[in-house]
């Protein structure tokens, strides 16, 4: 069984005021299902023990209410317009972590330190989108509108080097393995005990296995220290009509295990052990 450490509930509709409307009906293909039926399909057909949902709070907590323990909530926030008190309130509501994306400054900027301090004080997980974001999604007038143009260099894995030096006990998960700064992401997980990473979404699964062998098993010697810091995650769309998203990413993990000859105990850490440790279970 696996825990998918990075899923979404789908792009919820917005009402006239712009507020997100969480998905209220659960469907699988064309058949309406109960929440338990949906969970059963996820577990039996996709081997999913549970999923970490990283949507805005109103969507994430609504899905938690519907799906109970199947959902681990790690709500996505606007880090330029949220306070440490807001972070504390999200943990009081049951958040296991907080997801950050598209900052107006580098993740390592001092102005964000009070947010990281609040997460650490709550023994929570900080999930950082690292690397590229789709054009048109986080742009002025885009799907998730903002006032400034995104600078993906603010989300480079190297930015987290400064974060972890300031907060060595803050639990950090780098989403998307720094796409396209692959070696930079490897350096972070191999150098800092509190930084982990996943291969969700992005283009990691499209890259040559030869590249991943060179990163994780140079000259045929497995870098167990780095491999032991990986988490299974897909960036799949869940809880909307149609199949569980991103099956190609799941296949990528299986191929990585096989090609690198990753020991079973480390596969288990990737599949579920590491994320359970990061969310304190």
Q: What distance in Å separates the CA atoms of residue 183 and residue 157, rounded to the nearest whole number? A: 9
Around 8, how many Cα atoms within 13 Å sit in the side-chain half-sphere? 14
Domains defined for the chain, CATH in brackets: 2-278 (3.20.20.140)
Angle between helices 209-216 and 247-260 (to 10 degrees): 50
Q: What distance in Å separates the CA atoms of residue 171 and residue 46, rounded to the nearest whole number? A: 27
Is the distance from CB of 161 to CB of 186 less than 8 angstroms?
Answer: no
User: Which of residues 37 and 127 earns the better pLDDT score?
Assistant: 127
DSSP 76: B
Confidence of residue 43 (pLDDT cuts 50, 70, 90): confident
- Judged against a pLDDT cut of 70, whether residue 22 lies above it is answered with no
Beta bridge partners of 14: 20
pLDDT one-digit tens code per residue, 180-210? 999 999 999 999 999 999 999 878 999 999 9
Q: What distance in Å separates the CA atoms of residue 50 and residue 69, rounded to the nearest whole number? A: 7
- Judged against a pLDDT cut of 80, whether residue 153 lies above it is answered with yes
pLDDT one-digit tens code per residue, 232-277? 999 987 776 555 666 788 899 999 999 999 999 999 999 999 999 9
- Buried b vs exposed e over 33-56: b needs ≥16 C-beta within 10 Å? eebeebbeebeeebebebbbbbbb
Is the distance from CB of 88 to CB of 64 less than 8 angstroms?
Answer: no
Q: Give the pair of three-digit tokens for residue 93.
A: 């509501």
Confidence of residue 18 (pLDDT cuts 50, 70, 90): low
């Amino acid at each position: 069984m696996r825990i998918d450490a990075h899923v979404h509930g789908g792009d919820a509709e917005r009402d006239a005021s712009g507020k997100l409307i969480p998905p209220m009906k659960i469907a699988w293909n064309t058949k309406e299902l109960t929440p338990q039926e949906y969970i059963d399909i996820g577990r039996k057909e996709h081997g999913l023990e549970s999923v970490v949902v990283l949507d805005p709070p109103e969507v994430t907590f609504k899905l938690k209410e519907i799906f109970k323990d199947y959902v681990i909530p790690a709500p996505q926030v606007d880090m330029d317009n949220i306070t440490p008190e807001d972070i504390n309130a999200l943990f009081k509501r049951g958040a296991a972590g907080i997801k950050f994306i598209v900052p107006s400054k580098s993740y390592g900027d001092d102005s964000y330190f009070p947010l990281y301090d609040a997460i650490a004080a709550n023994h929570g997980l900080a999930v950082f989108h690292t690397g590229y974001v789709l054009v048109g999604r986080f742009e002025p007038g885009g799907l998730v509108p903002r006032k400034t143009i995104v600078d993906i260099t603010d989300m480079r894995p190297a930015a987290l080097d400064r974060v972890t030096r300031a907060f060595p006990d803050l639990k950090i998960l780098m989403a998307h393995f720094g796409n396209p700064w692959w070696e930079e992401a490897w350096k972070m997980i191999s150098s800092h005990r509190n930084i982990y990473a996943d291969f969700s979404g992005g283009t990691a699964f499209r890259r040559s296995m030869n590249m991943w062998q060179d990163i994780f098993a140079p000259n045929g010697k497995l870098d167990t220290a780095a491999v032991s810091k990986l988490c299974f995650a897909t960036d799949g769309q869940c809880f909307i009509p149609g199949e569980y998203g991103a099956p190609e990413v799941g296949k990528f993990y299986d191929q990585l295990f096989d090609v690198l000859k990753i020991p079973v105990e480390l596969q288990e850490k990737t599949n579920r052990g590491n994320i359970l440790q990061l969310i304190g279970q």
